[in-house]
Every structure is written in structure tokens, then in C-alpha cells.
A = this chain, B = another copy of it.
């Protein structure tokens, strides 16, 4: 497993602000973890005692609603730091994390990184910045959820997936999600999600092969209300 000092992934998150010495210490105590698609990384209510640095793959952060349905709060991808909140609070995590792909991550124990958080202001500011950006994103999701139609939200997640995770060599979206996942991202019933995707298909906006989805008419998706 590569050393943190020379790992390219860290450039995408606040670990890049650690000094070489700090990185070497972190590197010495990190653990490599591999999760298969569908594997539960942690569950709502657990105590996290560290952060995960995502090297490859994608996972969903979900929260169980009172009605028994899961809601996807965020998709976490390569370069993201998972579990930042555990660094500043001893509370149990309010979210579950489930791998949507096969994933590789590095786990860094809280104890090891806490000292850096109090001694390296550059690092702290960077974590703060990441957190602020998460918060901004979250506000935006809230507004989307409150003010946009299910169809619109579905169009947006398709475009989001296209823009952020790209496509395979046949132009299908790289991230393959079940209809149930789409439903719980968009916040609707599974049947409604299925129905909307079927409609998009009929209208030629997308095509599908099994559960794989290809965006055929990105521009029309943009204008869906």
C-alpha cells in the first residue's frame, strides 16, 4: 500500500495540508480497507474513531427516516474524507455508509490525527473549509428537495452522475445504481423512480441496458421541470 506522503489522493482533501512529517506519522498508523459493493462501512449510531480517505469507488451516506425509508444524503467519492465529524465530536455518527462499488479506503485513527488538528492551523483551516463546503452543498440539497419536482430531481441526479462520475467506454453512467437507490437519493417511492426513468426512456432522454443507464439527450434533461 502506498505511503501517504507520496499518495496522490490526498491532494483532493485536507490531508494535503499536513507536513511531510505529519503525513509519515499518519501513514505509519493507517489501515488499508477494501469493501465490496453493498458492504456496510458503518451504520447510524456507531461510534467512529477515525476518518476514511477514499482511494477508489463510491459510497452512499444515508440516514434512516422515521417512516422506515433510507434517504441518501451524499455520495462520497475518490478523494473525499469520510467521517470528518467524528474528529470534532464524540457523538455517534448520524449517517450510515454503504459501498456502491468495490471500494478501497485508508482508515486513519482519530487519536493519530487529532494532534495535527490542534497543532497545524493550515490543516484545521482546510478541514473547516471542507466542512463549510459540505454545509453549503447540504443547504442546496435542502432547497432542491423542498422546491423541485421529483422528475426534476431525477434529471439532476442523472446529470450529476454524468458530470462527476463519468461514463464507461459504451457511454453508460459509470455509477450503476438500483432504482431503489435512485428513489432514495431523490426522495420518492421506488415505483415513482422507476416510472420516471421509464418515461425518460420513452422520451429518448436516456436508454438503459439492465440497470445501466445511458444519457442520450443531456440538453433536454437540463430543461425538465
Which residues from chain A sit less than 8 Å from chain B, CB to CB? 63, 65-67, 69, 71, 73, 84-85, 87-89, 94-95, 117-119, 121, 124-125, 127-129, 131-136, 138-148, 187
Inter-subunit contact B146/A65 (CB<8 Å): yes
Inter-subunit contact A128/B139 (CB<8 Å): no
From A67, A71, A127, A139, name the one whose CB has the most chain B CB atoms within 10 angstroms: A139
Question: Which single residue of chain B is at the shortest CB-CB distance from A89?
Answer: B132
Residues on the B chain within 8 Å of A138, using CB: 135, 138-139, 142
Residues on the B chain within 8 Å of A187, using CB: 145-147
Inter-subunit contact B118/A119 (CB<8 Å): no
- Alpha-carbon distance A140/B117, docked complex (angstroms): 27
A and B contact pairs by CB, cutoff 8 A, 23 listed: A63-B143, A65-B143, A66-B148, A67-B147, A71-B146, A73-B142, A84-B132, A85-B132, A85-B135, A88-B129, A89-B133, A117-B125, A121-B121, A124-B125, A128-B128, A131-B132, A131-B135, A135-B135, A138-B138, A138-B142, A141-B142, A145-B145, A146-B187
- Copy number in the complex reads 2
Inter-subunit contact B85/A136 (CB<8 Å): yes
Residues on the B chain within 8 Å of A118, using CB: 121, 125
Question: Which single residue of chain B is at the shortest CB-CB distance from A186?
Answer: B146
- Alpha-carbon distance A124/B187, docked complex (angstroms): 35
**What is the minimal beta-carbon distance from A121 to any residue of chain B, in angstroms?**
4
Question: Which single residue of chain B is at the shortest CB-CB distance from A144?
Answer: B65
Residues on the B chain within 8 Å of A63, using CB: 139-140, 143
Contact of A136 among B66, B94, B119 (CB under 8 A): B94
- Alpha-carbon distance A142/B72, docked complex (angstroms): 9
Q: A135-B85, A139-B63, A147-B71 are in contact. Are A127 and B128 (CB under 8 A)?
A: yes
